[in-house]
Amino acid sequence: MINHEDLKQRIEIYSITTFGSGFNELDDSEKYVALSKALMETVLPIWNESIEKTKDKKKAYYFSSEYLLGRFLDNNLISLRVKDEVDRILNDLGISYSEIEESEQDPALGNGGLGRLAACFLDSAASLGYPLDGYGIRYDFGLFKQKFINGEQVEVADNWTKYGDPWGIRKVKETVYVNFDHTIIKAVPYDYPIIGYDKKLINTLRLWKAESLDEFDFKAFNDQNYDLAVKAKNDAENIAKVLYPNDSYEEGKKLRLKQEYFFVSASLQDLLRKFKKSNRDLHEFYKYHSIQLNDTHPAVAIPELIRLLLGEGLTFEEAFEIAQKTFGYTNHTLMAEALEQWPIKYYEELLPNIIDIINRINAKLITEIKSMGIKDEDIYKYEIIHNGNIKMAWLAIYGSKSVNGVAKLHTDLLINKELNDWYKLYPKKFNNKTNGITQRRWLLQANPELSSLITRLLNSDSWITDLSKLKELEKFADDKNVLEEFMNVKQKRKEKLAQYIKEVEGIEISKDSIFDVQVKRIHEYKRQLLNAFHILDLYFRLKENPMLDIYPRTFIFGGKAAPGYFRAKGIIKYINDIANLVNNDDTINGKIKVVFVQDYRVSYAEKIMPSADISEQISTAGKEASGTGNMKLMLNGAPTIGTYDGANIEIVEEAGEENNFIFGLRVEEIQNLAPNYDPKQIYETNSRLKRVVDTLVDGTFTDTTGAYKDIYNSLIYGTNWERPDVYFVLADFQSYCDMQQKVDIAYKDRLGFAKKAWLNIANSGKFSSDRTITEYAKEIWQIERI
């Protein structure tokens, strides 16, 4: 409970002291800051109590380059269970809570599934009472805000803290110093509360801001050399300016490496400093700390911890043993380009002390595997330093106690193919932890109407912290009244999304059409291009036969392409060109519409997920490690149209293939087909396919960038470094179109489709990040619930 008069008074004080005006005189963004600062006074005592409760316990720490948190306010109010109270207080003041909520900027601290998974894990740990803190970087501008100009992605700065950062506490006294060769950078921590549901526990996300030791060179300024006066400040702050700086050129690559080392060094120094205050033996460090490396980005933490322990007087063997018992490594991809490798020369230039330690780790590894019977001619398969590069995945595997994949198929492929050599040496290290999502944000917060229906049907809200309870909903799968009520809930969410898209994107869509959703990072393996080809095929068929019997459908895309990813940006423009063609052709009677939402982010996803009818998960089989968007859509009642890939396999196992739409080549079929695959033959013999692919080069669309010709060539002829149609878009085209026709037929049976959607909800319990985090806690970290 909150003291209403006390909160009103606090809100007014923060309004005046922060903005110089009373609360009612502020704009919505300023009101958000004042309200959040006032609420932090409620959070702080509980937070401090949590820190005290966990200080002598073994804790886990998540090291991640990104955290895609989403907005703080609504989520924190729900976790504190005071949202209705705060809404009433604001009503008393004549203020709209929803307008304040909508004014909050999404924190620009992450990009895709990697960062969203990290955020879900923090939420689950706090809600279940597991002591798990996060470490990362406090980016000034994050990835970027995405705009479309003439259909092309344009990146603009995302100044997410321009109105303030009310949930972050700057801890200047806990500043540490990170040493690059000849340069020392200050790492200043900002702490954010991760509030467990019903205040179970408040854990901490500590993000580091990069600052210069010398912010201003007065002499240079006095000499009228103004750029030089602030050069050191700018150079230091560049480290935390943006997430994943463009690394097309060498300077960008070096900046990425600086980012990775900056945050892991600061984090490890922080942990060691706190541990030394306990006066415990450093040899026991691993007994109180378990650190999870979220992909290879923080893998440099392994040699850095060893370096720090050597500085405390431990031997190399002692330090390595402690590190190996401390770290766990999560592999998120089978994509070769995502398994980081760094040229030795970068380490020699920027981190000479670290390259010395990596050399020692590599030497130790070679000695060890030779003693295990590995022949000299096979040593190269395992070398951490090979052909002038440092293989970060190899460093992470050898330097960790645990290596996990993130879905059953993904882990099987790691064990049996991609990392099979390592698995044969260290089979006990390898394990699977299928990803999950937090139902607090993705159902309770994002879809309150469906949440209320579920709670009423179950006569309990226990599903909020135990998603397996949804299994009990299966008994309503043939209840016409329940299905009708569910469809009404879905319809209301569709109406809200349609209104939002009209306001924000300027496109009017039919709330009565099928909402067919593909929202995720733009990458060739995710095959947004396959979706685009199907839309064009449908459009051309409608042009030939305007009376074609199809259910009206709205195709909704969302996602960003990396600034340096030329082909992915070309795919975005291509989809926008298709949208322009389709949406402005009156002859097809509005039967299909295409929307590519701008600046897809968590707050946009919270509107899209509950309104989706179909979940597009159409990656090339064997390429998507897991996926979590598929889980969010499933939880909100959208059957999957997808390949047998990633977590799709487990979704189908749980909800039934009859309640989803699976198409395309499977992993083993791709492996058999790949050596002799000839996409040109498919292209030339399938007239429908040829017609849509040709739009890339036949003048249907205008492209001055050369991207469409590049996409066309990549599909038909390949490039100097890759074979044609690497991701089997052409091979899966017909199967995909045939399955989309089955979706159309199934949707026309209104109750039948509602049953499919309902059974997906009822069987989504496995995909809670609560289950995932419990497995990590018990099987890797060995931490106890508080």
Residues 395-438: pLDDT tens digits? 999 999 999 999 999 999 999 999 999 999 999 999 999 999 99
**What is the tens place of the pLDDT at every residue in 366-398?**
999 999 999 999 999 999 999 999 999 999 999
- Stretch 486-490: mean pLDDT: 98
pLDDT bucket at 90, cuts 50 / 70 / 90: very high
Short-list 205, 227, 200, CA closest to 216: 227
Lowest-pLDDT range of 1-15, 221-235, 359-373: 221-235
pLDDT of residue 224: 67
For residue 391, give both structure tokens. Answer: 């293989």
CB 272 within 8 A of CB 289: no
Average pLDDT rounded to a whole number, residues 90-105? 94
What pLDDT is stored for residue 248 in this prediction?
A: 73
Phi, psi of 617 (to 5 degrees): -130, 75
Structural domain range at position 65: 56-71+106-435+774-781
The pair of structure tokens assigned to 357 is 């330690």
Question: Which of 37-51, 216-230, 546-560, 597-611 is predicted least confidently?
Answer: 216-230
Q: Are residues 543 and 405 in the same domain?
A: no
Per-residue pLDDT tens over the stretch 287-327: 999 999 999 999 999 999 999 999 999 999 999 999 999 99
Percent of the chain with pLDDT over 70: 97
Residues 425 and 533 in one domain: no
Asked whether residue 481 is assigned to any structural domain, the reply reads: no
String of DSSP letters for 583-610: HT-GGGTTSEEEEEESS--HHHHHHHGG
Q: Is residue 568 located within the same domain as residue 426?
A: no
Q: Is the pLDDT of residue 584 over 70?
A: yes
Please check whether residues 509 and 371 belong to one and the same domain: no
How wide is the angle at C-alpha 660 spanned by C-alphas 659 and 661, nearest 5°?
135
CA distance 494 to 607: 9
CA angle 274, 276, 278 (to 5 degrees): 80
Q: Across residues 515-536, what is the average pLDDT?
A: 98
Mean pLDDT of 502-522: 97
* HSE-CB for 686 with a 13 A CA cutoff: 19
> Considering the domain boundaries, does residue 582 fall inside one?
yes
Residue 703 lies inside a defined structural domain of this protein:
yes
Residue 136 inside a domain? The answer is yes
Q: What pLDDT sits at residue 481? A: 98
pLDDT band at 246 (very low <50, low <70, confident <90, very high): confident
Reading the block at residue 776, the tokens are 């990590």
- Phi-psi group of 447: left, alpha or beta (phi > 0 → left; psi -120 to 50 → alpha; rest → beta): beta
Which tokens sit at 653? 């196992």
Residues 344 and 424 in one domain: yes
Q: How far apart are CA 125 and CA 368, in angstroms?
A: 36
pLDDT of residue 333: 85
d(C-alpha 708, C-alpha 572), whole Å: 11
Placement of tokens 């898209």 in the chain: 501
Q: Please say whether the beta carbons of 44 and 71 come within 8 A.
A: no
| pLDDT of amino acid 219 | 62
Which of 323, 279, 284 is CA-nearest to residue 304? Answer: 323
Query: Which pLDDT score, from 0 to 100, does residue 343 have?
Result: 95
> Residues with catalytic annotation?
332, 520-521, 526, 628, 632
Coil/strand/helix, residue 665: coil
Give the mean pLDDT of the chain.
Answer: 95
- Are 429 and 506 members of one domain? no
Closest CA to 558 of 598, 524, 529, 528: 598
Q: Which of 47, 132, 117 is nearest to 784 (CA)?
A: 132
Predicted pLDDT at 249: 81
Residue 1 has pLDDT above 80, yes or no: no
Residue 225 banded pLDDT, cuts 50, 70, 90: low
Distance of CA 785 to the CA centre of its chain: 26
Residue 525 to residue 523: CA distance in whole angstroms:
6
Which percentage of the chain shows pLDDT scores above 90?
A: 92
385 found inside a domain: yes
* Res. 101: pLDDT tops 60: yes
Rounded CA gap, 779 and 447, in Å? 33
Tokens 């909704």 -> residue: 556
Q: Clarify whether residues 431 and 499 are in a common domain.
A: no
Q: Is residue 207 part of a domain?
A: yes
Regarding whether 431 and 303 lie in a shared domain, the answer is: yes
pLDDT exceeds 60 at position 65: yes
Q: What's the whole-number mean pLDDT along residues 450-462?
A: 98
Structure tokens at 21: 């005006």
- Domain CATH number, residue 66: 3.40.50.2000
- Confidence bin at 232 (pLDDT 50/70/90): low
Same domain, residue pair 148 and 223: yes
Total tally of structural domains belonging to the chain: 2
The pLDDT value given to residue 337 = 66
Residues 191 and 283 in one domain: yes
Q: What is the pTM of this model?
A: 0.96
Identify the band that residue 216 occupies on the pLDDT scale cut at 50, 70 and 90: low
Predicted local distance difference test score (pLDDT) of residue 168: 98
Count of beta carbons in the 10 Å neighbourhood of residue 572: 23
Residue 246 structure tokens: 């463009």
| SS3 assignment for 207-227 | EEEEEECCCCCHHHHHCCCHH
**Beta bridge partners of residue 195, listed in sequence order:** 202
Given this model, what pLDDT does residue 2 score? 86
pLDDT score for 227: 61
Residues 124 and 260 in one domain: yes
pLDDT at 237: 85
The answer on 506 and 361 residing in a single domain is no
What mean pLDDT do residues 128-132 have? 98
